Amino acid sequence: MKSKKLMIWLAVILALIVAGYLLWPYAFTVVPIEEVEQQKLSEAFDPVAYVDGIWESKIIPTINSEAVDMADVLNAMQPNPAGMAAKDDQIKVANEYGLITVGEAHIYLVKLTGKVTALDTKTSLGVMEVQPDGYGGPIKVRVYVGPRIPSDETSIRDGVGFINFGDFKEQTEYGKVGAEINKRIVSNVLEPLDKETLVGKTVTVYGALTIRTFNLINIDLKKLTIVPIKIEVEG
């Protein structure tokens, strides 16, 4: 009796093995490695396409409409004779005229009008110094004129307020957006600029600036540098 039951179980197991072998090709889809790699590429984040989708429709209009007068920001900062100001006081200024990131950076979208007093293009991080209309204090205001913007500069990305880290899968995607925005500024704003004729002219600049305050008690306000999204030169 036991022998008969054993034979039945063996027959069932054998039948299952045979059925599994016959049905195996239908249980899985074999995809060539080339197709897998192509699918990964198609799903990869494209920072150029992302910035294309928001450059004209959101970034530029946001800065144009929300930029505050640079002179108002400067007059509110009031550094001491050494060019320093208490962080607590600067928090009040940022809350009124700008925003504060989770990393405690103070970011301002600004409109600056004034005369170009100096041009420094000794390095690739070229800047022009501008004396703002309506401000006579000690803070020096500079504007990047290229041909390069610092790789860690993210004022435009962070300042517009609608490009949020949580909207991206990972840190690298968020970083690529900042880098692509800077590339767009270089090609669209800085490369067409006739730098050698700027000194002595009046300019109007729309852009953003960042003041790092993390883990600081006093903030150095001797120099502030704007990342421009638009530069208009009079004359």
> Residue 42's pLDDT is what?
40
d(CA 70, CA 57): 24
Pick from 83, 78, 108: nearest CA to 96? 108
**Where does the pLDDT of residue 183 fall: very low under 50, low under 70, confident under 90, or very high at 90 and above?**
very high
d(CA 7, CA 57): 76
Q: What is the pLDDT of residues 59-71, one digit of tens each?
A: 999 999 999 999 9
- The ranges assigned to domains in the chain are 45-233
| Secondary-structure class of domain 45-233 per CATH | mainly beta
pTM exceeds 0.85 for this model: no
d(CA 81, CA 75): 14
Q: What is the pLDDT of residues 134-151, one digit of tens each?
A: 999 999 999 999 999 999
Asked whether the CA dihedral 139, 107, 201, 125 is positive or negative, the reply is positive
